[in-house]
A and B are shown apart, each in its own frame.
Chain A
């Protein structure tokens, strides 16, 4: 048997090694969870691409893995975040928050301090530190002093360096470069302590502000106060119970859900927004379907000419990207300069406040959303109506029935069953129609009586978004809990939809 070069295994080994290097890097950077996830994926990939009985999964793995990691995992993770206090105040994980405290430094009274002077050296600078008591001095290398990124600089004894320093730069120059100088940390040879700028003429030794005890508490070296991590509030606290920033993420159990459902200040806007979400989706679907169906019936009428042209023009709103149409409407509806109000003003002398009156804002949303959504309904209904046998209409014409009888007795009953699942999925889509709300009204006008930002035109999703990304508190945990509630609602809608899909399939058999 001849040996042949097989690229497959070699490639596999190479990819595997690269993956392991990356996983190690991630682990070293302190992201244990991420490293673990990547390791599991790598192991799975190795198994699937080496074992013979998993052959089918070689085709499935990349796609399914991407779907699991970037679609399913974020959903599960959202539910998990709903049980934490993750927010801008409790942003870091516990080890990172602890490290933040341990990295803090202070300039102690007993620490050494050195007089410093700044000397120009061409376009750059050198620092000179002097210990007056010991009559010793040190000099730095050339420094540009152009950035404020932290930089550690080693100094050399002035005698050894044999550098001719010019006159010390005037204080004006030091003040001009103060920001850059403050970014420096200096180290002297044979000395462990770090020196930072402590005054315009002085650098001083600093030491860590906190020392970690064996039991996990932190001792403040300056005031000798003791900080203890509180695992239920997510903060380091002093003996007196004072909380210190930054906080860290901890699990809070059902607290977020308790807030949503039992806190009156919170429950009230939640219920109002939920009701509007349902009303908005239902009305959108109703008006969109009604208009779409009417047009589809018209286009099925033999006596009508130019159908192709009409259909193409009426389809246009569906083809234009939604984010552009919505923003166009935002401008057209503008209270003061919008063309719609200019026309209304010229015709009837009215200027409706589309963006500040809650009822008008809701009406505007419905108008725009029906405009965006009816072409889809039109296309779907046209397809369904084409499938209705023509002899039904002929029979009804012989019986002398008018168009209304035709529609309510023949067309509607026959297309409603197959249409129902599509109507429900349109309802589900509009239930989460974040793009429309976010781009058109942003949820405004806002309620005036709520603690978190909430608007009269907010849907549940846009409300969640505002709590997470627009409120100053960035309450990710709370937002994730609301998202989880929406997940449950969407799941319920999906169940209903699947039932109707099955019914319409069974009937068509």
Chain B
């Protein structure tokens, strides 16, 4: 642009940079602080951002290793952080797998088949996801309490109950996958059908391999959705060994038992991988969706 720049322009640029750097400092402050706190000795130690003495006691506890305090006392981990992380990863992976299976098949029918009630079902799914599960917590508790009286495996305090409760949340993913299927030309599957493929074979062997990018994205989104889910898990899980990270983490910060340093280490240990997965999903989402657009 050939525009004459006045004198105030330079100052505006500098002001913008100053503002952004200040804002970033505010935004990043909690992250840097938590890293610093995780390396300070003790749970109440105050100090500068760069700790004077570095101690790995909180990291040891987070990793489930006991350590010997300076006064000779053996400090054992208060909470099984790694077990919670494993619980979270287990529940989230299985949930993502179930969600993916249920939503890819449903999206195939919505994208490629004609049947009565299609618009109604699609609209219903859209409407459904406007009402969050947190509003039905009482009923979810009552339902799994009842199921548990017959099948303890699926009752309160079981991971299976969580899987079932999460398995219904397919609405958004069905829409996402259907949108992607719509960009893939139907002629390829029709060619397969002319060669004698059943609709199932056309779906399984022709369409699914082409839709792989979106399946990865949906898997990761469902995985993250399950791993950060708090309300339903807090109602269904009570026993300490069964908790997921989202429910267990808050036990660190009770007024009566304030384990600030231990929490900091546990938060980084569990938060970092989830954050990386999320950023990965974001990247894939953008590249996956554009790749689909070019193919279509």
Task: Please state if A59 and B24 are interface contacts (CB–CB under 8 Å).
Answer: no
Q: Does A479 lie within 8 Å of B138, measured CB to CB?
A: yes
Residues of A288-342 whose CB lies within 8 A of B:
295, 298, 301-304, 306, 310, 313-314, 316-317, 319-325, 327-332, 334, 337, 339, 342
**Shortest beta-carbon distance from A433 to chain B in Å:** 9
**Given A67-B168, A301-B16, does the pair A81, B138 have CB atoms closer than 8 Å?**
yes
**Distance (whole angstroms) from the CB of A319 to the closest CB of chain B:** 5
**In this assembly, does A49 line the interface, its C-beta being within 8 Å of a C-beta of chain B?**
no
Is there an interface contact between A320 and B271, defined as CB atoms closer than 8 Å? yes
Task: List, in ascending order, chain B residues with CB within 8 A of A469's CB.
Answer: 137, 141, 235
B241 at the interface (CB under 8 A from A): no
Chain B hits for A71, CB < 8 A:
128, 131, 133, 136, 168-169, 171
Known A70-B164, A316-B27, A320-B271; contact A56-B113, beta-carbon cutoff 8 A: yes
Q: Is the CB of A321 within 8 A of B106?
A: no
Contact: A70 with B142, CB < 8 Å?
Answer: no
Who on chain B is nearest to A374 by CB? B27
Provide the residues of chain B in CB contact with A403, threshold 8 Å.
Answer: 12
Tell me which residues from 398 to 438 in chain A have a Cβ below 8 Å from any Cβ of chain B.
Answer: 403, 425, 428-429, 432, 434-435, 438
Residue A270 lies at the interface, judged by CB distance under 8 Å to chain B? no
- Which of A123-131, A169-177, A483-491 forms contacts with chain B? A483-491
Q: Knowing A31-B149, A327-B253 are in contact, say whether A310-B106 is a contact too (CB < 8 A).
A: no
Given A34-B150, A56-B114, A57-B115, also A439-B230 (CB < 8 A): yes
Q: Which B residues, 117 to 172, have Cβ-Cβ distances below 8 Å to chain A?
A: 121, 125, 127-128, 130-143, 146-147, 149-150, 164-171
* Pairwise interchain contact A67-B139, C-beta atoms closer than 8 A: no
Chain A residue contacts of B132, Cβ below 8 A? 429, 432, 434
Q: What is the bound-complex CA distance between A324 and B248, given in angstroms?
A: 11
Contact across chains for A313 and B138 when beta carbons are under 8 A apart:
no
Give the residue name and chain of the B residue nearest to A346 (CB): B46
**A60 engages B105 (CB within 8 Å):** yes
| B1 in contact with A394 (CB, 8 Å) | yes
| Partner among B20, B113, B143 whose Cβ is within 8 Å of the Cβ of A74 | B143
Interface residues of B in 98-121 (CB under 8 A from A): 101-103, 105-106, 108-110, 113-115, 121
A461 at the interface (CB under 8 A from B): yes
Interface string of B62-102 (1 = CB under 8 A from A): 00000000000000000000000000000000000000011
Is B31 part of the contact surface with A, judged by Cβ < 8 Å?
A: yes
**Dominant SS at the A interface?**
helix
Interface residues of B in 1-57 (CB under 8 A from A): 1, 3, 9, 12-13, 16-17, 19-20, 23-24, 27-28, 30-31, 33-34, 37, 44, 46
Nearest Cβ on chain A to B151's Cβ, whole angstroms: 8
Q: Which of A301, A342, A435 contacts B46 (CB 8 A)?
A: A342
Interface centre among A304, A329, A403, A434 (most CB of B within 10 A): A434
- In Å, the complex CA distance between A418 and B16 comes to 27
For the complex formed, measure the closest distance between the CB of B161 and the CB atoms of chain A, giving whole angstroms.
10
CB-defined contacts of B147 to chain A, threshold 8 Å: 34
Q: Residues of B with Cβ closer than 8 Å to A?
A: 1, 3, 9, 12-13, 16-17, 19-20, 23-24, 27-28, 30-31, 33-34, 37, 44, 46, 101-103, 105-106, 108-110, 113-115, 121, 125, 127-128, 130-143, 146-147, 149-150, 164-171, 174, 199, 203, 224, 227-228, 230-231, 234-235, 245-246, 249-250, 252-253, 258, 260, 263-264, 267, 270-271, 274-275, 278-279, 282
**Sample (15) of A-B pairs whose CB atoms are under 8 Å apart:** A26-B150, A59-B106, A67-B128, A71-B169, A81-B142, A86-B142, A304-B17, A314-B23, A317-B27, A331-B264, A337-B258, A425-B130, A434-B132, A465-B137, A476-B141
Q: A295-B23, A327-B252, A342-B46 are in contact. List 14 more A-B contacts (CB 8 A).
A: A34-B147, A62-B101, A67-B128, A319-B279, A323-B245, A324-B267, A328-B264, A334-B258, A337-B260, A432-B135, A435-B230, A461-B135, A483-B138, A487-B131
- Interface residues, chain A, CB within 8 Å of chain B? 25-26, 29, 31, 33-34, 55-57, 59-60, 62-64, 66-75, 77-78, 81, 86, 295, 298, 301-304, 306, 310, 313-314, 316-317, 319-325, 327-332, 334, 337, 339, 342, 371, 394, 397, 403, 425, 428-429, 432, 434-435, 438-439, 461, 464-465, 468-469, 476, 479-480, 483, 486-487, 490-491, 494
